[in-house]
Amino acid sequence: MDCLIHPTYFPNIAHIAAMVTSKSVCLEVWDNYQKQSYRNRTEIYGANGKLALTVPVKYSQKNRQLYRDVKIANEDNWQSLHLKSLQSAYSMSPFFEFYIDDLIPLFETKYDYILDLNLKCFEILTESLQLKLSVAKSVVFEKDPVNKNDFRPLVKRNYKANNLEHYTQVFTEKHGFIPNLSILDLLFNEGPNAELYLTRQSIDLC
């Protein structure tokens, strides 16, 4: 069945697994923006455990905004900080050098809107993972979508994906396995095996 899902900043593993195991993907681009979600946040595995990387945005809770209209606060030097964090966390991972050059343009290009950044992230990641997905964008907001699996709740930060298979992470011996991190964690650690890993996962919203 088709999958309706939010584009997010370097999506977590459950996000990508939901897409890979669906017939086609519809990216939600007409919803209202909500804080405290993965729309502008990703989580990686640093030397001290889970580390959140957040893209600063200009958003007021008082005035509702469409996701597509929310601007990035580019006054902060967030791109340089995020790249340095990735380098520190994954420079010793097996496939870091293989993929990082494809990702660097994301940290060197200024994006005005968070949705535009996230769509570009999605484009580059699908190329890096060599995923052949049938992808479209929503044209209207549907509260109760028809003939689609609604995976939009995956954007919430309280979603737990504890049923994901374990794989070897850089700091596993220090802090154990941490599930459902950014897809970058899987990519840097598993490389070409990442796609096969994703197809074996079952994403349950219950």
Residue type, 137: K
pLDDT for the residue 206:
59
Q: Encode the chain (206 residues) as per-residue pLDDT tens digits.
A: 799 999 999 999 999 999 999 999 999 999 999 999 999 999 999 999 999 999 999 987 667 899 999 999 999 899 999 999 999 999 999 999 999 999 999 999 999 999 999 999 999 999 999 999 999 999 999 999 999 999 999 999 988 887 999 999 999 999 999 999 999 999 999 999 999 999 999 998 75
pLDDT for the residue 179:
95
Strand, coil or helix: what is 15? helix
Q: Enter the tokens of residue 7.
A: 């584009």
DSSP 165-196: PP---TTHHHH----S-BHHHHHHHHGGGHHH
pLDDT for the residue 65:
92
Domain boundaries along the sequence of the chain: 2-199
**Is residue 72 within 8 Å of residue 56, measured between CB atoms?**
yes
* φ, ψ dihedrals at 6, nearest 5°: -80, 135
- Spatial distance between the Cα atoms of 129 and 194, rounded to a whole number of angstroms: 7
pLDDT for the residue 64:
83
Q: Quick check: pTM over 0.75?
A: yes
- Spatial distance between the Cα atoms of 100 and 87, rounded to a whole number of angstroms: 9
Which residue reads 């580390």 in tokens?
51
- Spatial distance between the Cα atoms of 44 and 184, rounded to a whole number of angstroms: 8
- Spatial distance between the Cα atoms of 121 and 187, rounded to a whole number of angstroms: 14
CA-CA distances (angstroms) from residue 196 to 36, 186, 201?
31, 11, 9
DSSP 94-112: TTHHHHHHHHHHHHHS--S
